[in-house]
Amino acid sequence: MDSINKSRMQLIFTLLLFGTIGTLSRYINMPSSIICLGRAFFGAVTILILLAARREKPDAEAIRRNRWWLLLSSALMCCNWICQFEAYKYTTIATSTLCYYMQPVFYILAGAVVLKEKLTPRKIICVAVAFCGMILVSGVLQTGLHLSELKGVIFGVCGGFFYAMVVLINKYMKDISPVNTTIMQLALVSLIMLPYSAATGAFSEVSITAAGIICLLTLGVLHTGIGYIIYFDAVNKLPTQTVGILSYIDPVEAVLLSAFFLREPVNIYTVMGAVLILGAAAVSELTGDRKAA
């Protein structure tokens, strides 16, 4: 197997992992802040162990140089993860994932405002199509939205917004590798979420079960620590367009698991909304890659 094919298989493996996060969260009966804390802590420890096994050390100078951007992006990542896991609690995995996947739309809009990137007619159409898809996915046209469903949709969309902001902030970092960025973000998320969880009384709401602990460890060690290392190793060796196309494995798998494994309702409107959201995101990303090339 040549290097490109190996990297492609690594990327597919990690995206299949990421697609199971929503389903895995169903078995963790803990507040979202505790899930975020555990995921970040176990992920950071795992990456440090992997780096030590490879005789590598975090780049202290690069980290120091980007410390303020790292702190800001970590705070946004906290908001991103909390919204993501709250969305899973209030609505189906399919709905929350597809609302969360509005992130490319927010990135387009943020790029126009912050980076002064030109908002072309094609991008405007992609934004409009994605919002139409979100309306279909939310279920508001069929039965209206119950308060719980509405919370799930809002948390999912907010999670996508904060993720887009993390990606945007990362563009301002200079001469720092993705692994160094990730390990510092995970460490800072842990430091932020610890006092936040204590202040909000989250620790008193923790329901400790064997299944919950195993799933949280899996989320932190496998999905975050090992998964991120393999993911960035693959991304650094593959064309951007290939990464963009394969990235849609994640939300599609999440929707399928929601329907067939968790037996959550997925109707024709959800399918139509998924096509609009993912299609709009794909067109916007692939158009950008082609122009850059």
Query: pLDDT digits over 253-293, tens only?
Result: 888 888 888 888 777 877 888 888 888 777 766 655 444 43
pLDDT given at position 233: 83
**121-138 and 93-100 are packed helices; what angle lies between their axes, rounded to 10 degrees?**
160
* Domain encompassing residue 123: 3-292
Structurally, the chain folds into a number of domains equal to 1
**Which pair of structure tokens corresponds to residue 202?**
């989250």
Higher pLDDT, 94 or 49: 49
Percent of the residues in the chain that have a pLDDT greater than 70, as a whole number = 91
DSSP code at position 204: G
* CA pair distance 213, 218, nearest whole angstrom: 8
pLDDT given at position 293: 39
Give pTM, 2 decimals: 0.84
At residue 176, what are phi and psi to the nearest 5 degrees? -140, 135
* CA pair distance 244, 289, nearest whole angstrom: 9
Tens digits of per-residue pLDDT, 21-54?
999 999 999 999 999 999 999 999 999 998 899 8
143: pLDDT strictly greater than 60:
no
Q: Which residue has the tokens 């997925």?
A: 266
* CA pair distance 277, 134, nearest whole angstrom: 7
